[in-house]
């Protein structure tokens, strides 16, 4: 069973999905959001570079997606249609919000950006899967070597194609993976390649699922978001906002530590 389906099992065990309705869905340029009737919301990176359509027909269900219900939307995590998968991940993240908030003893967190709590040594080789620009300078200043791997084209100077993950991740001391890897279906493989690394980190609003499946695969830190104001969040997403806009008032950046490793 993959990471997303393990998270779905946890969610379905803790929450009666029949009691929750889908209130609103926004497919923004930066992030996709799903808001639920219980007041929670979840987001997923829209991965515009991988989802840009060749025609005007994107989703057949546009206009009545909310009528499909929570169970149907969360089942989209198994879809090969990336638009649907993104909606499924956002729905799973929204459901996960309720669980992590109601179980602080099981999911303790630091209300801080992950880069501020990560232990980086001056002789470390760091591989970052996905160009997370705010992390670049701090990592280069603290590590011996930083490799950045990216799927989007054209590649910026000094950035490697993501196909280099097969070679660079197994030999890196620290691996940092963007949450987009969960949306595009590559996260399970990336974590397998990183299993011998001292630190394995996944980060980004997209990675805000219940973290248990990630911790079982050796992830040391999980940096996601907790939603404070779901109405404001959905407005920000509908106006093409991203993480800088979300974190002002709509969400808190939070970092979860693997309890089995600390």
Single pTM value for the model? 0.92
DSSP code at position 155: P
Domain boundary among 102, 121, 139: 102
Nearest to 34 by CA among 74, 1, 61, 63: 74
173 and 214 in a single domain? The answer is yes
Cα distance between residue 255 and residue 20, in whole Å = 27
Domain count, the chain: 2
93 and 113 in a single domain? The answer is no
Q: Is residue 252 part of a domain?
A: yes
Q: Is residue 262 part of a domain?
A: no
- CATH code, domain carrying 13: 3.30.390.100
50 and 116 in a single domain? The answer is no
83 and 181 in a single domain? The answer is no
Q: Is residue 65 part of a domain?
A: yes
Domain boundary among 102, 129, 159: 102
Beta strands in 63-116 (DSSP E): 109-110
Q: Give residue 163's domain range.
A: 109-257
Print pLDDT tens along the chain (262 aa). Answer: 999 999 999 999 999 999 999 999 999 999 999 999 999 999 999 987 665 555 445 666 676 788 789 999 999 999 999 999 999 999 999 999 999 999 999 999 888 778 888 889 999 999 999 999 999 999 999 999 999 999 887 888 889 999 999 999 999 999 999 999 999 999 999 999 999 999 999 999 999 999 999 999 999 999 999 999 999 999 999 999 999 999 999 999 999 999 877 5
φ, ψ at 179 (rounded to 5°):
-60, -20
Contact partners, residue 203, CB within 8 Å, separation at least 6: 114, 132, 176, 177, 178, 179, 221, 222, 223, 224
Q: Is residue 82 part of a domain?
A: yes
125 and 48 in a single domain? The answer is no
Q: Is residue 233 part of a domain?
A: yes
Domain boundary among 55, 78, 102: 102
């Amino acid at each position: 069973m993959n990471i997303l389906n393990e998270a779905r099992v946890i969610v379905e065990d803790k929450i009666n999905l029949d009691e929750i309705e889908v209130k609103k869905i926004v497919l923004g340029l930066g992030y996709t959001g799903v808001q639920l009737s219980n007041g929670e919301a979840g987001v997923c990176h829209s991965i515009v570079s991988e989802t840009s359509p060749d025609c005007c027909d994107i989703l057949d269900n546009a206009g009545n997606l909310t009528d499909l219900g929570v169970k149907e939307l969360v089942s989209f995590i198994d879809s090969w249609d990336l638009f649907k998968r993104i909606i499924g991940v956002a729905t799973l993240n929204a459901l996960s919000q309720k669980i992590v908030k109601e179980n602080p003893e099981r999911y303790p967190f630091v209300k801080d950006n992950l880069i501020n709590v990560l232990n980086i040594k001056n002789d470390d080789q760091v591989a970052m899967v996905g160009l997370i620009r705010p992390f670049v300078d701090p990592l280069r200043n603290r590590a011996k070597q930083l490799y950045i791997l990216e799927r989007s084209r054209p590649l910026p100077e000094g950035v490697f194609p993501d196909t280099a993950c097969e070679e660079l991740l197994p030999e890196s001391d620290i691996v940092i993976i963007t949450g987009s890897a969960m949306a595009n279906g590559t996260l399970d493989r990336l974590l397998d390649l990183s299993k011998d690394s001292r630190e394995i980190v996944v980060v980004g609003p997209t990675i805000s699922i219940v973290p248990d499946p990630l911790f079982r695969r050796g992830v040391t830190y999980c940096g996601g978001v907790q939603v404070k104001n779901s109405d404001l969040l959905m407005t920000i997403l509908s106006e093409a906002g991203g993480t800088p806009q979300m974190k002002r008032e709509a969400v808190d950046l939070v970092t979860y530590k693997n309890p089995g490793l600390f």
